[in-house]
């Protein structure tokens, strides 16, 4: 792999992790599932993007707002078509009335098909989860840019979020 191809691989793989965070937080399940190989293994008995989409749908309906912040991303190119990586992530998650901060490590496998990189597998490892004493969502609207503090409009204003819930979210 020449230098340019290696740099492009690193960049495209980094974008996978970022697009994962944005799509998950927006509840854009089609975009989220599309980041994975078409034949992605889902559990022991299922495979494919539609099965993955259904799995994400079930998991994400158990929580409210989420906010993933991608940090360190170490990528090892195994070959021109395969790579592995570790991604650090800080998450904030609405769990009913609770607000949880998490530190996460993702252990990833990537593959390149038809000129694009995809997740083969993404393993979520929890470093910690810590309940916060108050939820940042339990405050009046900021009416940005009128005020700098208060509740904002994202993700509830996103079309994908509204489509996911089909009604007012929990």
3-state secondary structure the chain: CCHHHHHHHHHHHHHHHHHHHHHHHHCCHHHHHCCECCCCEECCCEECHHHHHHHHHHHHCCCCCEEEEEEEEEEEECCCCEEEEEEEEEEEEEECCEEEEEEEEEEEEEEEECCEEEEEEEEEEEEEEEECCCCCCCCCECCCCCCCCCECCCCCCCHHHHHHHCCCCC
Which pLDDT score is estimated for 170?
57
Fold of 3-165: Nuclear Transport Factor 2; Chain: A, (3.10.450)
Low-confidence ranges of the chain (pLDDT < 70): 168-170
Please state the domain extents for the chain: 3-165
Which pLDDT score is estimated for 100?
97
Q: What tens digit of pLDDT does each residue of 45-74 get?
A: 999 999 999 999 999 999 999 999 999 999
pTM value is 0.92
């Amino acid at each position: 792999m020449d230098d340019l191809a290696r740099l492009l691989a690193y960049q495209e793989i980094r974008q996978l992790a970022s697009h994962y965070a944005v799509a998950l937080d927006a509840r854009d399940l089609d975009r989220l599932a599309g980041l994975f190989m078409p034949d992605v293994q889902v559990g022991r008995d299922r495979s494919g993007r539609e099965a993955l989409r259904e799995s994400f749908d079930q998991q994400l309906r158990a929580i409210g707002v989420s906010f993933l912040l991608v940090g360190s991303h170490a990528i090892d190119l195994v070959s021109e078509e395969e790579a592995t990586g570790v991604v650090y992530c800080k998450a904030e998650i609405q769990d009913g009335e609770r607000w949880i901060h998490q530190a996460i490590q993702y252990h990833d496998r990537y593959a390149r098909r038809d000129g694009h990189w995809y997740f083969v597998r993404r393993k979520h490892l929890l470093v910690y989860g810590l309940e916060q004493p108050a939820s940042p969502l339990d405050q009046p609207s900021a009416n940005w840019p009128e005020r700098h503090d208060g509740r904002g409009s994202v993700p509830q204003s996103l079309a994908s979020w509204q489509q996911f819930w089909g009604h007012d979210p929990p």
